[in-house]
């Protein structure tokens, strides 16, 4: 599979920051979610449709590296990359860039596909797999 990449810009608001005016570490999960939901939406398969089909995607693991600070009112770029075809899980790599293009943050987020009713793991939906192929 060829890597699939999505990019979205986001303006940092006060609610994202701590008392020092930098993005609070606990808010990075929201940035990852913005990146992956907009990537999949851009591919033509919004999360809402995934959930309507009876599949949800809970987070399994997160690994992150804080390289530079991101501050209030910066227009950041969230880049999301999928390099491997999803199976029962999908691995998203995130890179977040400051307004000046400096790499500020890196993360790997793994989600699993789960049946909304049985709460058991399932394989990635065929419609989503087709988009990644």
Q: What is the pLDDT of residue 1?
A: 79
Q: For residue 55, give the nearest of 110, 114, 129 by alpha carbon.
A: 114
| C-beta neighbour count of 89 within 10 angstroms | 16
Distances (CA, A) of 75 to 10, 67, 91: 6, 17, 25
Tokens, residue 16: 């994202």
DSSP 98: -
CB 5, CB 38: distance < 8 Å:
no
Q: CATH number for the domain including 41? A: 3.10.129.10
pLDDT at 119: 96
Number of domains the chain contains: 1
Angle at CA 130, nearest 5°, toward 47 and 31?
Answer: 35
DSSP 8-state secondary structure symbol assigned to residue 116 = T
The domain in which residue 36 lies consists of 4-132
Edge-first strand listing for the sheet containing 4-11 = 4-11, 75-82, 89-97, 103-112, 59-66
pLDDT digit of tens for each residue in the chain (133 aa)?
789 999 999 999 999 999 999 999 999 999 999 999 999 999 998 889 889 999 999 999 999 999 999 999 999 999 999 999 999 999 999 999 999 999 999 999 999 999 999 999 999 999 899 988 8
Phi, psi of 112 (to 5 degrees): -115, 155
Residue 42, beta-bridge partner list: none
CA 103 to chain centre: 16
């Amino acid at each position: 599979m060829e890597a699939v990449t999505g990019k979205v810009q986001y303006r940092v608001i006060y609610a994202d920051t701590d008392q020092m005016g930098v993005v609070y570490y606990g808010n990075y999960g929201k940035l990852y979610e913005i990146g992956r939901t907009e990537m999949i939406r851009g591919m033509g398969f919004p999360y809402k449709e995934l959930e309507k089909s009876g599949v949800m995607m809970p987070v399994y693991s997160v690994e992150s590296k804080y390289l530079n600070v991101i501050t209030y009112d910066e227009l950041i770029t969230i880049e999301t990359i999928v390099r491997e075809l999803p199976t029962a899980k999908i691995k998203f790599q995130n890179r977040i860039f400051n307004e000046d293009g400096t790499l500020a943050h890196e993360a790997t987020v793994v989600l699993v596909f789960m049946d909304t009713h049985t709460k058991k793991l399932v394989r990635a939906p065929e419609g989503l797999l087709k988009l990644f192929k």
